[in-house]
Amino acid sequence: MPSPTPDEKDREIVQLLQGDPDVPHREIARKVGLSQPAVSARIHRLRNEGYLKIQVGLDADSVGLVLAKVDVVSLEPQALVESFRNCPLLVNALFTSGRTNATLFFVGESAEHLQTIVDVHLRPLPSVQGVEFQIITGSFHPWILPVSVTADRCDRTVCGYSCASCRYYQIDRCPGCPATIHYKGRFWQTSPAPLVPSA
């Protein structure tokens, strides 16, 4: 049986939470003309029914990361996206219709870092027939992204590359993958972690 459509009070509650996810329930109650327990019950129901999702993440621009949108023509878009599933720099991917059939969103420490991801890890894939790479320069609304802020440190990237042997890494165009012991960037910098052998 389908869930009931949200009513006007539900929509007001969602609108307030979109403006400030931390707004207290009693403040919402005052603004929408309901009791605090009624608001809490509605929020609980809206979450259970899938109408309301709270996402925790980072605003890439405010933490000094650069965001790129990469539109791809691939013979195997599902397999392509799956191959980047554990990449700490991939924040989301969409399957699309039209000239391109997959859109990937990556974060990096510079435009050069992102260009390296595309040139080294994406363009050479046999299933990739075309790539359009764009740096995101702004957004109409704040865009909160699920940026991975930790990564296990291995000697190779999750896609099997050795940063130390990459020419972009050697000329400091790319700081390396945050999931490797070779990473020399700033955002994912942590105290040295024990070496985890790659598979």
The domain locations on the chain are 8-48, 58-145
3-state secondary structure of 85: coil
Q: DSSP string spanning 17-80?
A: HHH-TT--HHHHHHHHTS-HHHHHHHHHHHHHTTS------EEGGGGT-EEEEEEEEESSHHHH
pLDDT at residue 3 tops 80: no
- What kind of architecture, by CATH, is found in domain 58-145? 2-Layer Sandwich (3.30)
> If you average pLDDT over residues 76-93, what whole number do you get?
93
pTM of the predicted protein model: 0.81
* Segment 11-27, tens digit of pLDDT: 999 999 988 889 999 99
Please state which of the four CATH numbers 3.40.1710.10, 3.40.47.10, 1.10.10.10, 3.30.160.20 is assigned to the domain occupying 8-48. Answer: 1.10.10.10
pLDDT at residue 198 tops 60: no
pLDDT at residue 122 tops 80: yes
Residue that the structure tokens 């990556």 belong to: 106
3-state secondary structure of 183: coil
User: Which of 58-62, 180-184, 189-193 shows the lowest mean pLDDT across its residues?
Assistant: 189-193
State the pLDDT at residue 195.
44
Amino acid, res. 104: L
**What CA–CA distance (Å, rounded) separates 151 from 132?**
28
What is the Cα 52 distance to its own chain's centre?
Answer: 19
In percent, the amount of the chain with pLDDT more than 70 equals 93
